[in-house]
Amino acid sequence: MKFILIGSVLLSTTMTMADNSCLFMYGSKSQTVTHPKVYIPKKVTPLKEIRETLETLNPHILKSRIETLSSAVRLLKAVYGPLEYKQALGFINGIDKLQEEFVAKISKLNPLQDREFGVLMVEFFSRLNDPHVSLRLNSDYARELPIQMTYINGKYYVNWISAEYPVEKIRKPKLLDQVIKIENVTVDEFISRFPPVNAEGNEHTNKSLFVQRIVSMSETSGLPLLNMNPNGLRLTLRDKRTQKEYTILVPYKEKGTPMLSRDMSLISSGGQKDKPLTVKGSERQKPKDGERPFREDRIAESIGKGEGRKIALGDAETLFRLPKDAVEIEFPQNESIKLYEERIKLQKNKDIDSSDPFNRKHLKAYIFKKEINGKVMNVGFLRVPSYSPSNPQTIIYSLRYVMSVLGAKTDLLIIDQMNNPGGFVSYSDALIRNLVPEIKSENQMQFLFRPTKNLQQKYHENAKAIENFVKNEVVFRLIIGSEKFDQVLADLKLNNERILAATNTGDPFSISEGIKLASLNEAMQMISDFSLIHSDNLLFSTLASIGSAALFKDQPYPKEKPIYFLVNEKDFSGGDATPAGLQDQGRVKIVGVGAKQTAGAGGTVETFELSEMGKVSLTTSLMYRPLRQAKNDPVRTFVENVGVEADVVLKVTPDDYINGFQGVLKQLYKLISDDMSKANNQNSVQWLSR
């Protein structure tokens, strides 16, 4: 007995073995393929009878779908951290009203199409306008383009062209040709037709990220790819040199299998079909003169090769072309390190990149000389691509080593955090500690939590940290000083009080007061440092062998040396938290590169099961900035949807994408020079104050 799932209804068929020719149908396109020994039913139920059966069961399917939506609403009310915040500020017009709107939409859906319902549920979660929130559909189908676009100053440009672009089949665009239209409508209008991608924090981020990701569009993210032009993506561009417009049909490369098997109306000649996009040109149509469809010969996969620079979140390589004399800080090599690396390879831990146990690929730092304001300065440059390192166990030690070198050998530091998708809060906190010599506890970022399993876990971690902290009090007071020890311990005890208060109210929808994860992470790191002596002799001896002052202490960059921290609109989560924390400590100048703010993904995330729909990621806390509240700055008290506002914004031009952002670097050096001129003392950190 075999089972198939159609329109949320389980049907059974008796199957037997036979040789047979099978017909595969994709819309109106079909091809016959011969396979030996395939299962076929002894008796096949006609599609018409299946349809009649499913239409009879329509009320049951409708009820099931509405219950799935109700489950989603109950989940949001129980665990979604920013719910009241978003309702109060008008980001969503009431969760109950949103539910009513989507009940009406569900009632109009074709009962035969689970895919259509899945896309609608993705749209429901996207209406929260939260970059952290996502419902992933069960599909591996994607369409990839041989070009990528970027968003600059309100316009869209081609910034990358695949090395295997089918130039013999279709006109090849040039780098920095402006994209005027997609499928015969403006790019902005085209983007607005896809609710799932208009939920990345703020408008600038939405547009910038959509055209970056259009190089690879996936059905799992809720994009109705089968409703789009099957021949390719029709683009109208303006030639950079001649300023003349031209239109091309850019081919897709298809990967995976569309969600067709449960949508009987797609493979039946009768019944309702998916509604196509109401965009002129999205339907099948004969190509115009100069356009040549290219569907049969698929383009080969390209790993970033081609003309220009393919942009990706978390790319370890900086977009900036540094001076030729820039020297990369190399991590030491010795026998202990080799032994540790061999052990990592043998462990085959899927959470660790065994080829990079000390995060050499992830943490790249350089030193070069630059004359600024008539003085030759040693400039440090640190690339922080994400807060999800190759090996979380060693990233803090690698960071400390790099910071000890930068602190000793440079006069100022530039940190490039652009296009950072976030990651571990503990890593973000560690970077802040290694940049700020004297942390002001009252200004540290806090998190307002829902009483979820994650908060319970934080309570146990926090309680364990207190126990270990007190047990090793004498050692820790020697390492960090008594004043610092007392402050961290006081923060840990306050965390426990606030977590208990939130979980003991009896109100499942309560939210905690501010929890200082930074203090918890700092204590846990000190405990981890201390435990190395007893629990991991190889790692301890390895770290000791590199002269790691980094073993027990952070290596804060000297406070008299300035830091410029570069951000853009595609910095998410930890990419929001780190600049916010540094800005509130008054340590760095936040420099927006073509953007006035970061994305605004302001919280921590957990994953939950949602009925048969699968797993949904939800924000369960809110990043909260006490300093902004103290300054009566309610707009920037929370990070969600607002991001972190840059202290100064540098202009980006299309040419920056082909010359290594030299125009941005020129503006940055001018900014540093102006700051130095204003200072009474050239190296005084005072010229960084807001």
Tokens of 688: 């960084």
- Distance between CA atoms of 384 and 399, rounded to whole angstroms? 10
Average pLDDT, the chain: 79
Highest mean pLDDT among 85-89, 195-199, 340-344, 573-577: 573-577
How many percent of the chain have pLDDT more than 70? 79
Same domain, 340 and 246: no
pLDDT, tens digit, 9 for 90 and up, residues 408-417: 999 999 999 9
478: which strand partners? none
The answer as to whether 161 is a domain residue is: yes
309 phi and psi, to 5 degrees?
A: -125, 120
Contact present, 451 and 503 (Cβ < 8 Å) = yes
Same domain, 377 and 252: no
Q: How far lies 124's CA from each of 68, 70, 278, 333, 645, in Å? A: 12, 12, 20, 52, 29
The answer as to whether 60 is a domain residue is: no
- CA quadruple 61, 62, 65, 70: dihedral, nearest 10: -140
Highest mean pLDDT among 249-258, 378-387, 608-617: 378-387
- The H or E element containing residue 490 is helix 482-503
CATH number at residue 231: 2.30.42.10
Name which residue leads in pLDDT, 3 or 538.
538
142: which strand partners? 218, 255
Contact present, 219 and 268 (Cβ < 8 Å) = no
DSSP string, 326-367: -EEPPPP--HHHHHHHHHHHHHT-TTS-TT-TT-TTT-EEEE
Mean pLDDT of 607-611: 83
Mean pLDDT of 399-405: 91
Q: How far lies 672's CA from each of 370, 668, 682, in Å? A: 11, 6, 10
pLDDT band at 358 (very low <50, low <70, confident <90, very high): confident
- The H or E element containing residue 518 is helix 517-535
Name which residue leads in pLDDT, 565 or 133.
565
Determine the distance from the C-alpha atom of residue 575 to the mean position of all C-alpha atoms in its chain, rounded to a whole number. Answer: 9
The answer as to whether 496 is a domain residue is: no
Name which residue leads in pLDDT, 93 or 39.
93
pLDDT at 456: 79
Same domain, 290 and 159: yes
Same domain, 281 and 162: yes
Contact present, 443 and 629 (Cβ < 8 Å) = no
Same domain, 206 and 334: no
Mean pLDDT of 227-248: 92
Tokens of 241: 């040199």
Tokens of 52: 């009649």
pLDDT band at 551 (very low <50, low <70, confident <90, very high): low
The secondary structure of residue 251, as a DSSP letter, is: P
415 phi and psi, to 5 degrees?
A: -115, 125
Same domain, 300 and 326: no
Contact present, 460 and 427 (Cβ < 8 Å) = no
pLDDT at 119: 86
Mean pLDDT of 558-577: 95
- Does pLDDT of 152 surpass 90? yes
DSSP string, 37-49: EEEEESSPPPHHH
The answer as to whether 119 is a domain residue is: no
- Can you tell me which residue has the tokens 């690929």? 361
**Cβ-count burial of 579 within 10 angstroms (0-12 exposed, 13-18 middle, 19+ buried)?**
buried
- Distance between CA atoms of 673 and 668, rounded to whole angstroms? 9
Tokens of 89: 């500020």
Residue span of the structural domain in which 290 resides: 142-262+276-308
pLDDT band at 302 (very low <50, low <70, confident <90, very high): very low
CA-based torsion, 92, 95, 101, 102: positive or negative: positive
Name which residue leads in pLDDT, 430 or 612.
430
**Cβ-count burial of 649 within 10 angstroms (0-12 exposed, 13-18 middle, 19+ buried)?**
middle
- Distance between CA atoms of 314 and 390, rounded to whole angstroms? 12
- Does pLDDT of 370 surpass 90? yes
Tokens of 608: 């939950």
Burial letters for 610-636: b for 16+ Cβ neighbours within 10 Å, e otherwise? bbebeebbbbbbbbbbbbbeeeeeeeb
pLDDT, tens digit, 9 for 90 and up, residues 590-606: 999 999 999 999 888 88
Q: Which residues contact 5 (CB under 8 A, 6 or more apart)?
A: 11, 114, 261, 262
The answer as to whether 403 is a domain residue is: yes
The answer as to whether 504 is a domain residue is: no
The answer as to whether 460 is a domain residue is: no
Name which residue leads in pLDDT, 487 or 59.
487
- Distance between CA atoms of 83 and 99, rounded to whole angstroms? 14
Same domain, 359 and 427: yes
The secondary structure of residue 110, as a DSSP letter, is: -
pLDDT at 558: 92
Same domain, 348 and 257: no
Q: How far lies 324's CA from each of 234, 363, 370, 376, 404, in Å? A: 41, 20, 11, 16, 23
Contact present, 569 and 597 (Cβ < 8 Å) = yes
pLDDT, tens digit, 9 for 90 and up, residues 9-45: 333 333 322 332 222 222 223 333 333 333 334 444 4
Question: 563-567 and 412-416: which strand pairing?
Answer: parallel
Same domain, 302 and 357: no
pLDDT band at 428 (very low <50, low <70, confident <90, very high): very high
- Helix 453-471 vs helix 517-535: angle between axes, to the nearest 10 degrees? 60
pLDDT, tens digit, 9 for 90 and up, residues 45-81: 455 555 555 555 567 888 889 999 999 999 998 889 8
Mean pLDDT of 512-532: 83
pLDDT at 536: 65
Alpha helices in 418-481 (DSSP H): 425-433, 453-471, 473-480
Same domain, 174 and 300: yes
pLDDT, tens digit, 9 for 90 and up, residues 371-387: 998 899 999 999 999 99
Tokens of 416: 């490039």
pLDDT band at 509 (very low <50, low <70, confident <90, very high): low
pLDDT at 547: 56
- Does pLDDT of 324 surpass 70? yes
Nearest Cα neighbor of 597 from 553, 635, 642 is: 642
> Helix or strand or coil: residue 683?
coil
CATH number at residue 343: 3.90.226.10
Q: Which residues contact 202 (CB under 8 A, 6 or more apart)?
A: 569, 597, 599, 600, 641, 642, 643
How many percent of the chain have pLDDT more than 90? 37
Same domain, 243 and 210: yes
Same domain, 300 and 345: no
pLDDT at 92: 79
- Distance between CA atoms of 625 and 514, rounded to whole angstroms? 9
Name which residue leads in pLDDT, 633 or 310.
310
- Does pLDDT of 461 surpass 90? no
The total number of structural domains that make up the chain: 3
Nearest Cα neighbor of 261 from 214, 216, 215, 219 is: 219
- CA quadruple 451, 605, 140, 345: dihedral, nearest 10: -110
This model's pTM is above 0.85 = no
The answer as to whether 622 is a domain residue is: no
- Does pLDDT of 299 surpass 50? no
Name which residue leads in pLDDT, 300 or 646.
646
624: which strand partners? 446, 638
Highest mean pLDDT among 21-30, 268-277, 429-438: 429-438
pLDDT at 262: 40
Mean pLDDT of 301-324: 83
- Distance between CA atoms of 396 and 525, rounded to whole angstroms? 9
Q: Which residues contact 666 (CB under 8 A, 6 or more apart)?
A: none
